[in-house]
Structure 1
Amino acid sequence: MIIGYTTGVYDLFHVGHLNLFKNARGMCDRLVVGVTVDELVQYKGKKALIPFEDRIELVRSCKYVDAAVPQYDMDKLAACKKLGATYLFVGDDWFGTDKWKKYEEEFVREGIHIVYFPYTKGISSTKITESLRNSHGLVLK
């Protein structure tokens, strides 16, 4: 059985997230999605608009997701090993960066393949938040 893993905050769930799950699920038998807990989002200097419990339930409810688990830290290699994942799916904005070149070397030694998917053009939670802020005058932190 091929197990795939991906992670994210999944705040303001949108079609780009759905595309990621759909494409990832097409490459594995079981897709596990790590949903970033609120404390880790804050550590990254942000604040989720939607609470963790709601975000994980939205992800869990997606038909392409076989399991949703909390992501408590940024150690994707440890998560893949714990879950038995042989594929890690990430956005292509990381492709070619020094950090991810190093990750690729570490992951390949463990028999885990990193697959980069292109972002869905024109959509992101950040863009949705900015649009709401600009067009509706909402105060979003």
Structure 2
Amino acid sequence: MKKFKVGYTTGVYDMFHIGHLNILRRAKEQCETLIVGVTTDELCFKRKHKYPIINERDRKAIVEAIRYVDRAIFQTDMDKIRTVKELGADVVFVGSDWKGTDAWKQYEKEFATAGCNVIYLDHTDGISSTILREKISK
């Protein structure tokens, strides 16, 4: 299988769990360099109307320590095409739950004009930060 040069993926990575690790491992298997955007606390609040349990600095430090990650950066906005161009990414990895959505159909078109592919990675069933939040609050 041909490896991509620079891969990019983003996430909040709150309460880091096996689903996060699986995504990062699968992404790294397909590219030489994996850059991970860690969503800032403010952007998370703006999009999800809640702050992460773990602050952005600590979440970034955790992601940086994962052996599959070559570099972690903060994701401060949703301008994915600008970030892809700035990083020189030739592939973006995203969860398969986004496949076929209007937003990602549009992203696919925009990325294609920048020579960037989109690969959808399977979600790990039965685990998410939301599920962990619910377990903690019981």
> Which TM-score band applies after superposition, normalised by the shorter structure?
over 0.9
CA distance in 2, matches of 1:102, 1:63: 32
Deviation at residue 78 of structure 1 after TM alignment: 1.0
1:22 aligned to which of 13, 21, 25? 25
- Runs of 4+ aligned residues of structure 1 deviating over 2 Å after TM superposition are none
What is the TM-score of this pair, normalised by structure 2? Answer: 0.94
CA distance in 2, matches of 1:101, 1:52: 29
Aligned residue for 2:41? 38
* CA-to-aligned-CA distance 1:84-103 (integer Å, 9 cap, x gap): 10000000111001111111
RMSD over aligned CA atoms reads: 0.9
Aligned residue for 2:137? 133
What is the TM-score of this pair, normalised by structure 1? Answer: 0.92
1:57 alignment partner AA: A
* CA-to-aligned-CA distance 1:90-141 (integer Å, 9 cap, x gap): 001110011111111111111100100010010100001111112xxxxxxx
Q: Percent identity?
A: 49
Which secondary structure state, in structure 1, belongs to the residue aligned with residue 31 of structure 2?
Answer: coil
- Determine whether 1:51 maps to 2:59: no
Tell me the matched-pair count: 134
* CA-to-aligned-CA distance 1:17-57 (integer Å, 9 cap, x gap): 00011000000000000001111111111211001110000
1:38 alignment partner AA: D
Which structure has the larger Rg over C-alpha atoms?
A: 1
1:92 aligned to which of 92, 96, 102? 96
